[in-house]
A and B are shown apart, each in its own frame.
Chain A
């Protein structure tokens, strides 16, 4: 992140209210004021919510991965420029303007984190799960990834496997290309996508086995 410069937000002073009743009232206040001033509409807000509740989620990332498994040329393009490759499948948009796909191999395991907030490749994964946003995950994964994966996620990786932690704090949004599970030869893309979980795309799990 760039250093303080003109246009950066001023430092925070004062505590922010925390009670549920107050946040509910504040949220309503913001929305009603924004609508009154013609700055937005409840319809557009509804649309954004619905997009991420229903349409945009890790199923899209699973499709991308499945294609990469069956189509080596697509995989090459995906690793070279994930945003462009995903666009071939009609996948893209906000928070996916600059995506990078990182490939797992027998000797390299990748995992993504955003240490400062919760940056996440929305177009292929939807919105992040709660634990991804927790201070605990965000700090532990960069400090001691092997233990974090083992203790917090039950993923034991031998010492022979290097762990690469990608901090999604800058402009780039990372997601993982997990290894194709054994015993899936000859399967279609649609069948293969079912083995790709959200957690495998983040890197805190391997793909499901057939």
Chain B
């Protein structure tokens, strides 16, 4: 298990943003999504992952870090921050389409390509194979 402490400068910058208009509608949406204020800690009624792909995206980033395939968690986190910021620049009004793990997946893919673990071409090719059904479920978990 990689317990190595990352030493880097503290000093996170606050990114202040203009609060969006129509706060009460958005607040309602927030409250509708928020659960667990009165429930016991483990029974907050909310799934950790909303779909299996989210759990795999999470698991990959965490596993690769545990294995030391990348040395600092910040190498992933910086890309996640960048993906989130890019999305927010383009999608401020459409909060319904916000999907956190889509940002996570994008950051993971960038990390893998930029660290030279996978190439963009092979990712695109393999994605197309899964999307078209040319590859089935059983082709994920085992090496061929």
Contacts and interface: CB of A to CB of B under 8 A. Distances in A.
A is bound by B:
yes
Interface of A: 1-2, 8-12, 15-16, 18, 20-42, 44-49, 52-53, 57-59, 61-62, 93-95, 97-98, 115-119, 126-127, 129-131, 133-137, 139-140, 142-144, 151-154, 167-172, 194, 196-199, 204-205, 208
Contacts of B144: 36
B114 A136 contact: no
A154 B20 CA distance: 20
B123 to A, nearest CB: 6
A144 B38 CA distance: 24
A26 B123 contact: yes
B66 A59 contact: no
A24 B129 CA distance: 12
A185 to B, nearest CB: 21
Nearest to A197: B41
B12 A116 contact: yes
B83 A97 contact: no
Contact of A9 (B13, B46, B82, B140): B82
15 contacts: A9-B114, A12-B110, A24-B130, A32-B141, A34-B112, A42-B142, A53-B55, A58-B42, A58-B44, A94-B65, A94-B66, A97-B5, A115-B15, A134-B98, A135-B84
Contacts of A93: 1, 3
A170 B44 CA distance: 28
A157 B40 CA distance: 22
B48 A29 contact: no
B8 A171 contact: yes
B118 A58 contact: no
Interface centre among B15, B80, B85, B92 (most CB of A within 10 A): B15
A152 B41 contact: no
B41 to A, nearest CB: 4
Given A31-B60, A140-B19, 7 more contacts: A1-B11, A1-B78, A10-B114, A20-B51, A97-B3, A134-B95, A136-B26
A184 to B, nearest CB: 16
A142 B19 CA distance: 10
A204 B37 contact: yes
A160 B11 CA distance: 29
Contact of B123 (A24, A33, A170): A33
Contacts of B81: 1, 116-117
Contacts of A28: 53, 56, 126-127, 130, 135, 140
Contacts of A194: 40
A136 B93 CA distance: 11
B33 A45 contact: no
Most chain B Cβ neighbours within 10 Å, of A24, A144, A167:
A24
